[in-house]
Amino acid sequence: MKVYVGMSGGVDSSLAAALLVEQGYDVTGVYMKNWTRDLPGMQCPWAEDLADAKRVAVRLNIPFKVFDFQDEYKHLVVDYMIREYSAGRTPNPDIMCNQEVKFKLFLDAALADGADVIATGHYARVQDGYLLKAADSNKDQTYFLYRVTESALQKTLFPIGAFSSKNEVRAEAEKRQLTTAAKRDSQGICFVGSVGIREFLSQFVETKPGPIVERETGKTLGQHDGAIFYTFGQRHGLNIGGGLPYYVVGKDMAKNEVYVSTNLNDSHFWISEVALTDVHWINNQPDIGKTYQIRVRHRAPLVGAELIDNNTVKIEKAERAIAAGQSIVFYDGETVLGGGIVRS
């Protein structure tokens, strides 16, 4: 079976490729060139990552290709992210990257080039088109994969999903003398590199200062440098001195105002019923009225929740600071059911 492995230049995808070679697959490594633009004071690491991926391919004696998705990535991921933040929402570009790039563009291009299946270094498992949590609950990445389709999963392998820890992955990579064994994990926005969201957005969106307003009194407490940069529930970076800590409890993009409160019991802060949009179920729609588990953000604890109707979820215990634009993902035991995006 011919498999194209998405190789990012990191240890996870490097080991994934090595394992597939050992398992007898006809393996081709593929680097997805999604972003190459440097930002002021920050160099995009794509060239280094490409070189690392090539070195591993040479070590494994497998063919290596580069798929250029820069135009599509800018349109489908970056423009989406900018549009959502500009509307006052909190999107997740990694989820969109998986949906539109890795498991659509990459999959289609690989199949058209002769592959039977694709593989990536995600911490997840797949079985008969069902997405399952990784063995390592700390590294599990299924929250970012909930919008992948069943048909894509039927043509996808996750070779490292059964490993119990990142340390085990690194040890296995070291055992195989892969040059990426000790490479640090990438941080930041999907393939862009270690760039903070504020620095990134500043390159594309014109912002202006505005008031930070205490919700209860309407009093202006300080100035922000752009409402787009502030997220529901945020505590740090407000620069409001003295007394109890303030939290962002809302913002008005049209007025360019950010609203804060010291009241952690603020009714805007705790949410037990959430309306969803762009709902996606991987296999079958969950049963209405049945209790499942959900994750409201990556690495957040799983909590019980009931699907009231096709677009509404009732959470057993109110969750703090669920922001419009973020995703809620449903689980039934080990199986990822799908989820939706929190409506404004």
CB 194 within 8 A of CB 185: no
Contacts of 48 (CB under 8 A, 6+ apart): 9
CB 283 within 8 A of CB 337: yes
Per-residue confidence (pLDDT) for residue 187, from 0 to 100? 61
Record the pTM.
0.94
Q: Out of 97, 134, 169, 201, which one is annotated catalytic?
A: 97
For the chain, 344 residues long, give each residue's pLDDT as a single digit of tens: 999 999 999 999 999 999 999 999 999 999 999 988 887 767 788 899 999 999 999 999 999 999 999 999 999 999 999 999 999 999 999 999 999 999 999 999 999 999 999 999 999 999 999 999 999 999 999 999 999 999 999 999 999 999 999 999 999 999 999 999 999 887 655 545 556 778 888 888 989 999 999 999 999 999 999 999 999 999 988 988 778 899 999 999 999 999 999 998 877 789 999 999 999 999 999 999 999 999 999 999 999 999 999 999 999 999 989 999 999 999 999 999 999 999 98
Per-residue confidence (pLDDT) for residue 175, from 0 to 100? 97
Per-residue confidence (pLDDT) for residue 334, from 0 to 100? 98
Per-residue confidence (pLDDT) for residue 192, from 0 to 100? 54
Tell me how far apart the alpha carbons of residues 195 and 189 are, in angstroms, rounded to a whole number.
Answer: 7
Rg (CA), the chain: 21
The dihedrals phi and psi of 10, each to the nearest 5 degrees, come to -100, 175
Per-residue confidence (pLDDT) for residue 112, from 0 to 100? 98
Q: Out of 16, 57, 105, 190, which one is annotated catalytic?
A: 190
Tell me how far apart the alpha carbons of residues 344 and 337 are, in angstroms, rounded to a whole number.
Answer: 23
Tell me how far apart the alpha carbons of residues 56 and 11 are, in angstroms, rounded to a whole number.
Answer: 10
190 belongs to the catalytic site: yes
Per-residue confidence (pLDDT) for residue 190, from 0 to 100? 52
Per-residue confidence (pLDDT) for residue 186, from 0 to 100? 73
Residue entry with tokens 């998705």: 69
Per-residue confidence (pLDDT) for residue 193, from 0 to 100? 54
Per-residue confidence (pLDDT) for residue 188, from 0 to 100? 54
Per-residue confidence (pLDDT) for residue 195, from 0 to 100? 63
Per-residue confidence (pLDDT) for residue 36, from 0 to 100? 86
- Cβ atoms within 10 Å of 324's Cβ, excluding its own: 18
44 belongs to the catalytic site: no
* Residue 315, CB-side half-sphere exposure with 13 Å CA sphere: 21
Task: Go through the domains of the chain in sequence order and give each one's CATH number.
Answer: 2-197 (3.40.50.620), 207-261 (2.30.30.280), 270-342 (2.40.30.10)
Beta-strand pair 291-295/26-33: unpaired
